[in-house]
Structure 1
Amino acid sequence: MAIVKMNKFTLLSFESEKEKLLSALQKFQGVHFIDLQDDQALGDNEYAKNLFKDNVGEEHAVYQENLAKLRFSLDFIEGFFPEKKSMLSMLDDKKEMSLEELENSIKSNNWNEVYEELKAKERSLNELSNETTKLEGEIAELKGWRNLDIAISDLNKFKYSKAMVGTVSKQYEDIILDDLSTELNYSYVEIIDRDNQDLYLLVITHDSEVSNAEDILKRYGFSAFSSSIDKRPEDYIKSNKEKIEEIQSEKRDIKASVEKFQYERENLISAYEYFGNLVARSEASNNFIKTKKVVTICGWNMAETNDELKKAVQSAIGENYYLEFEEVKEEEAENVPIKLRNNGFASAFEGVIEMYSLPRYSEVDPTPILSVFYFLFFGMMLSDAGYGLIMMAASAFALYKVKDKDKRKSYKMFFLAGISTVIWGAIYGGWFGDLPSYFGIVPPKLLDSTADITTIFGLSLGFGVVHIFIGLGIKAYMLIRAGHMKDAIYDVFTWYITLIGAFLAIAGIGGKLGVIMLVLGLVGLLLTQGRTAPTIGGKIGWGIYGVYGITSYLGDIVSYSRLLALGLATGFIANALNLIINLIPSPFKYVLAPFLFIGLHTFNLLINALGSYVHAARLQYLEFFNKFYEGGGKKFTPYKLSDKYIKITK
């Protein structure tokens, strides 16, 4: 129940056999590469001058291009015919396929033909969309002239007159019409249309008055309109709409023709995984350095897999390699990737650790302790046995359906949280709130959430004290393990004396012992918390600040009162919901009550389960971890087979 022990390995192989070696390591799925191309990785090694960086190779661009084509094909099909998924699809496992089957399937896979057909359809749709946009733009442009009963191009054919069409702001309507009628003697003015802003004008005037007419129109910001269409605007608009309808029909036909490609999804997905493996394999070279003939690979592997790694290398390239394992050095600890391994109970809560931050290699894995308290706190905050049974049933069903290890961890955590909720619900006597009382049943209970609030509050704070003290104990263990015994005494045991003394003094237990311990602890903190400061003033200042830290501990302990608050909230809300349902008059109650009961209690379960999930984690992250935990570890992410859509077996 700890952080898995890691080794650093160095592997030398001939460049000519790199591809076979990478394929074998990908199947092995147990090495985490170190980026040797990072200048800091080699340090000042004199031999580094004779080495140069490896690269992905010429094929990489082809693999990436193929992946992009496959991604396009899958997205294109999904855009028109989304894959139908049931409400329980989240419980579906990925399809499994052996690597050999995958590699054989690509030989008869017609994915490229499918891509070309789909790409052609996309081009056709884009062309039709562009044509539609053009036609709609022309319609919008001619909309204000649709009442003009002559083609605009015909207006340019007058022999002794000139026609001017254009727009002017609607606010000038009366003025411009008056000026045109009074200042022009041989003219024709017609308002073709109006909208909220503009006036659409047709002005026909004799050649002798053209200049005067243009001056009048210019005076009011006239904007001329020109068009070469040889039809009436109304006819042209109608023609465009007919073309748009034809285009829409053609687009519908193209979209309908995509339906048959739904059945190509599996082939496309298989090809995607195949090329995904090749991309990952080629990109691995970005971590390596080499000479003209030899490539150098470094990485981390679990110490227990040393022999398996040797066998994997030998099976791929025979004896033409050099492989060396090294134990982790102290200065390398921060860079070692982390893999956690815990028992069946604790492993279910590893996700809670990962959400915060993985421990560093030199730290202690807090999962075993966290799992116990998370289990305890979640149930105490949700605290309704009925809700716990629902959680257990739903999680058990998910565990029955799902085989994926990571998903199973999450479902197992909620199953265990459901068990805790049933236990605490039975302690409080909560079964869907006070539902049994409506049937004349009084369930047994150890604590009454309405009458024993003080007891539950004390129990919550007691759990908090134990939780924090264990956190301090882990800190002491880590300091002692690192050889810092004095720091363990000054920073942990002094706090134990201070806090225990404070509790005894407040509770009035043990006579003067509590006061004596409190005073000794505070004096110890005052004298030791500033020990690293370079000046006497700094030592005193940090010592006083260290004493002031007792308020932080008291605040942390009070934070555990949320165990009481959330537990009461769940129960009281459930009771209120039952009361609301019971107030519905008969006979409607017998029809509506089951639906309301399911809906309202489901809502209460979801809301309070979310609150319990968040606040149980909060107590770990803020009150527990800040006593000893730094985190910042990098997750062990082995070089492995692609599994975005398909779980590929070795």
Structure 2
Amino acid sequence: MAIEKMVMMNLVGALEDEDKILEQIILMGNVHLQTDISELYESHFALHVLEESLSEMGENGEETARGPNDENYSEILSRIEYISNALNIKPKVDRIFLEKSFEYGFYKSSIDSIFQEVSPIYEEIQQRKDLIKKYQTFRENIKYILDKNIDFSQLETLHFFRYKIGMMSHENKMEIAKNYENITAIAKLIGTGEDSEVFLIIYPQKFEMETERILKSVNFEEVKIPEELKGTPKEMNEQMEEILRQEQIKLNELSQKIQEMKEIYKDFICQAITRVKMTQKVNRLKENIERGTSVFILSGWVPESQKEEITKQISTVSNKFMTVFKDINEIGKSIMPPTKLKNHKWFQPFENLVKMYGTPSYNELDPTVFLSITYLIMFGAMFGDVGQGLIFIIAGWILSQKQKESYFGPIAMRLGMSSTLFGFFFGSLFGNEEWIPHIVRSIFGSESVIARLIIHPMENMNLILISAVAFGVILILFGFGYSMINCLKEGNIKDGLFGRNGLAGLIFYIALLLIVYEIALGSVIIPKGILIVSIVITMALMVIREPLANKIQHKLPLYHEEVSSYYVESGFDIIETILSLASNTISFIRVGAFALNHVGLFLAFKTMAEMAHGGIAGIIIMIIGNIIIIGLEGLIVFIQGLRLQYYELFGKYFKGEGIEFKPIQFMD
């Protein structure tokens, strides 16, 4: 439940070691680049002083400044991609290939040489594959007319007529038959396939355009006869078989050459793409670097716990650099550090649910742990079933194994555990509420504490609904606490002390709750008069919060708008506050409602199973019911839980306007 402390790292290094130092920073993967650097250098950096310091360390002081490498790597990358595709190599970007130095000229000439060697063979392979595919397609199209004694070579000699052969669906064949007298062509059925008919179309040359228009309207798919094939369909098929046999032999020979090249060049291709991508990344990084006559300057945020390790790692590639680390208090509030969440492994998957709403600001409390615990309780209460919870655990585990980078699997496992736990409290196993209570009573006895802990939701509706609202009240109170802490950390006493989500709002909410409690149950905790006075005072504080806060902090002017407009707006804000608090509290009744709905759906399927007189049909109905409930209701409950977190709680205390910590990394 923490945000890792950051420090600003200002690094000054010799230009001659620039590439080596930047490459090392990329490989370390723990520096978040600060791109807005002008203010940093003006306020906190004396470039000439640092240059002098480096000169004392052995820098010769000569002008060695140089801009980013302007070499265009797009061509070499496209050729590497072409070669990889041709040789069926999946280029692996690996740090091990960075051990050798990078010389652009050597890599470019080598890649060009390999390209010249590979491309003719690869292009010929593609041409032969296309040719084989063309013949195979034609062979497939004429397989229904192999027994027809039609010499297509003779049809080529016609002077005043043209012909086409092609495929037509059974439905379109009927359209042709209905309008045959209007067609300026002879359409002869010469073959029948599974889904289509093969037609020979003969038409006068002068009606060619009209015939093509008619054929297009009935989705006629013409079959082109390769020019080199002559004679009847049977003779053409024999010619094709010989051509395909020869082409396959040549294709196998070329493929063997490609395989030999792959074994020779695969390691170099992986090394080349690794080196080129690293150089590209270094050049992009250089765009955010300031340079002097002999040094470069880079600024970025790093975790405070890693600053010594960072300096140590950079020293392995250069001894001509300096690092200066500054705490945020030394920099000022104008520059906000990025946020790196630091939570226990159990809560880390839920960080992604927080980030879906927004990234916590550096000075804001991380709500991940609070969300994790409360969201698990909500989901379990709304979807409590031992069997279905175990299904979620298994599905989450499988997903975690298949997609290790996904957070859905770990979250599903944790939700399944909560569902299973609440399933024991509800005594539900795949919708059956008799097995678990019977087993518990048999082992521990009917009057045991464990047996009494089992609550059937449908038999305790009021308890379930009241507990849901009470749970919501507790969460809202925690939300007020989070809001006050966040505001006071920012020095915002206007909202922290006098705002609707601050101390005044908290007292106002508690007073309203106690009045409702007294009206509903007739029990007095605090005299109503005191509560009413508290409500009036807190309402007044919320109305005058801006001028009051400005007066306390000695800020002028007290109002930042017209006084009348301010008080009109503040008056409506009080009404909105009352409505908001009421709706927020009542919204949590849906936790209990979904718990009852979960049981109700099972009862519906159970009733249908009983109407089917049990047996196999009843079992199938219950299985289908469980599948529907797991898939459909599970998704709805997942969304409803998030809705309660985002709208009823986050809206009170969490802004999520931070910048996520995204270090420069090689493998991104």
Name the TM-score, length of structure 2 as normaliser: 0.68
Query: In the alignment, is the contact (CA less than 8 A) between 2:125 and 2:255 conserved in 1?
Result: no
* C-alpha distance in 1 between matches for 2:656 and 2:70: 37
What residue in structure 1 maps to residue 498 of structure 2? 490
- CA 1:458/1:244 → structure 2, altered by over 3 Å: closer, same or farther? farther
- Which amino acid is 2:461 matched to? I
- 2:341 equivalent to 1:343: no
What residue in structure 2 maps to residue 16 of structure 1? 16
What residue in structure 2 maps to residue 58 of structure 1? 71
What residue in structure 1 maps to residue 305 of structure 2? 304
Q: Secondary structure at the match of 2:572?
A: helix
- CA 1:468/1:588 → structure 2, altered by over 3 Å: closer, same or farther? closer
* C-alpha distance in 1 between matches for 2:472 and 2:428: 24
Q: Secondary structure at the match of 1:68?
A: helix
- CA 1:632/1:526 → structure 2, altered by over 3 Å: closer, same or farther? closer
Task: Please list the CA deviations of residues 304-339 of structure 1 after superposition, one character each: whole Å capped at 9, or x if unmatched.
Answer: 222112212222212x112222222344444x2211
Pick one of 476, 479, 485 that aligns with 1:468. Answer: 476
* C-alpha distance in 2 between matches for 1:344 and 1:333: 30
- CA 1:243/1:287 → structure 2, altered by over 3 Å: closer, same or farther? farther
Number of residue pairs aligned between Structure 1 and Structure 2: 579
- Which amino acid is 1:639 matched to? I
Give 1:172 shift.
10
* C-alpha distance in 1 between matches for 2:260 and 2:229: 44
What residue in structure 2 maps to residue 181 of structure 1? none
Task: Please list the CA deviations of residues 459-514 of structure 1 after superposition, one character each: whole Å capped at 9, or x if unmatched.
Answer: 21222222222222222222223333343232123322332233233331535344
RMSD over aligned CA atoms reads: 5.5
* C-alpha distance in 2 between matches for 1:192 and 1:232: 21
Q: Secondary structure at the match of 1:351?
A: helix
- 2:544 equivalent to 1:543: no
* C-alpha distance in 1 between matches for 2:296 and 2:655: 37
Higher mean alpha-carbon deviation, 336-345 vs 241-250, is at: 241-250
Give 1:231 shift.
5.9
Give 1:99 shift.
4.4
What residue in structure 2 maps to residue 425 of structure 1? 423
* C-alpha distance in 1 between matches for 2:361 and 2:462: 40
What residue in structure 2 maps to residue 186 of structure 1? none
Query: In the alignment, is the contact (CA less than 8 A) between 1:153 and 1:229 conserved in 2?
Result: no
- 2:587 equivalent to 1:559: yes
* C-alpha distance in 2 between matches for 1:47 and 1:255: 61
What residue in structure 2 maps to residue 614 of structure 1? 639
What residue in structure 2 maps to residue 92 of structure 1? none
Give 1:546 shift.
0.3
Give 1:152 shift.
5.8
What residue in structure 1 maps to residue 514 of structure 2? 504
Alignment of 1:174-193 (within 5 A): 191=186
Query: In the alignment, is the contact (CA less than 8 A) between 1:500 and 1:517 conserved in 2?
Result: no
Alignment of 1:297-446 (within 5 A): 297-318=298-319, 320-328=320-328, 329-334=331-336, 336-392=337-393, 413-434=411-432, 436-437=434-435, 441=439, 444=451, 445-446=453-454
Task: Please list the CA deviations of residues 408-444 of structure 1 after superposition, one character each: whole Å capped at 9, or x if unmatched.
Answer: x765544443333233222222232225449955763
- Which amino acid is 2:376 matched to? F
- CA 1:481/1:633 → structure 2, altered by over 3 Å: closer, same or farther? closer
Q: Name structure 2 gaps, 5 residues minimum.
A: 49-62, 103-109, 165-175, 191-196, 214-225, 442-450, 548-557
Determine which structure has greater relative contact order: mean sequence separation of CA pairs < 8 Å that are 6+ residues apart, divided by chain length: 1
- CA 1:322/1:470 → structure 2, altered by over 3 Å: closer, same or farther? same
* C-alpha distance in 2 between matches for 1:468 and 1:176: 78
Query: In the alignment, is the contact (CA less than 8 A) between 1:51 and 1:290 conserved in 2?
Result: no
* C-alpha distance in 1 between matches for 2:279 and 2:467: 58
- CA 1:393/1:232 → structure 2, altered by over 3 Å: closer, same or farther? closer
Task: Please list the CA deviations of residues 205-235 of structure 1 after superposition, one character each: whole Å capped at 9, or x if unmatched.
Answer: xxxxxxxxx9xx68996899xx999966969
- CA 1:238/1:377 → structure 2, altered by over 3 Å: closer, same or farther? same
Q: Secondary structure at the match of 1:287?
A: coil
Pick one of 76, 81, 85 that aligns with 1:68. Answer: 81
Task: Please list the CA deviations of residues 172-229 of structure 1 after superposition, one character each: whole Å capped at 9, or x if unmatched.
Answer: 986999xxxxxxxxxxxx9585999x996677xxxxxxxxxx9xx68996899xx999
Q: Secondary structure at the match of 1:317?
A: coil
* C-alpha distance in 2 between matches for 1:236 and 1:386: 67
What residue in structure 2 maps to residue 183 of structure 1? none
Name the TM-score, length of structure 1 as normaliser: 0.70
- CA 1:32/1:265 → structure 2, altered by over 3 Å: closer, same or farther? farther
Give 1:363 shift.
2.0
Q: Secondary structure at the match of 2:644?
A: helix
- CA 1:494/1:30 → structure 2, altered by over 3 Å: closer, same or farther? same
Percent of aligned pairs sharing the same letter: 18
Query: In the alignment, is the contact (CA less than 8 A) between 2:429 and 2:435 conserved in 1?
Result: no
- CA 1:238/1:577 → structure 2, altered by over 3 Å: closer, same or farther? same
- Which amino acid is 2:297 matched to? T
Give 1:7 shift.
1.3
Q: Secondary structure at the match of 1:370?
A: helix
* C-alpha distance in 2 between matches for 1:57 and 1:478: 47
Give 1:346 shift.
3.7
Q: Name structure 1 gaps, 5 residues minimum.
A: 79-94, 156-162, 178-189, 204-213, 645-650
* C-alpha distance in 2 between matches for 1:2 and 1:12: 31
- 2:161 equivalent to 1:165: yes
Task: Please list the CA deviations of residues 107-134 of structure 1 after superposition, one character each: whole Å capped at 9, or x if unmatched.
Answer: xxx9999999986675345324654687
- Which amino acid is 1:505 matched to? I
Query: In the alignment, is the contact (CA less than 8 A) between 1:349 and 1:371 conserved in 2?
Result: yes
What residue in structure 2 maps to residue 624 of structure 1? 649
- Which amino acid is 1:18 matched to? E
Query: In the alignment, is the contact (CA less than 8 A) between 2:426 and 2:433 conserved in 1?
Result: no
Higher mean alpha-carbon deviation, 260-269 vs 526-535, is at: 260-269
What residue in structure 1 maps to residue 4 of structure 2? 4
- CA 1:228/1:149 → structure 2, altered by over 3 Å: closer, same or farther? closer
* C-alpha distance in 2 between matches for 1:618 and 1:373: 13
Q: Secondary structure at the match of 1:434?
A: coil
What residue in structure 1 maps to residue 26 of structure 2? 26
- CA 1:266/1:5 → structure 2, altered by over 3 Å: closer, same or farther? farther
- CA 1:468/1:586 → structure 2, altered by over 3 Å: closer, same or farther? closer
Higher mean alpha-carbon deviation, 296-305 vs 468-477, is at: 468-477
Give 1:341 shift.
1.0
- Which amino acid is 1:495 matched to? G
Higher mean alpha-carbon deviation, 345-354 vs 519-528, is at: 519-528
- CA 1:308/1:609 → structure 2, altered by over 3 Å: closer, same or farther? same
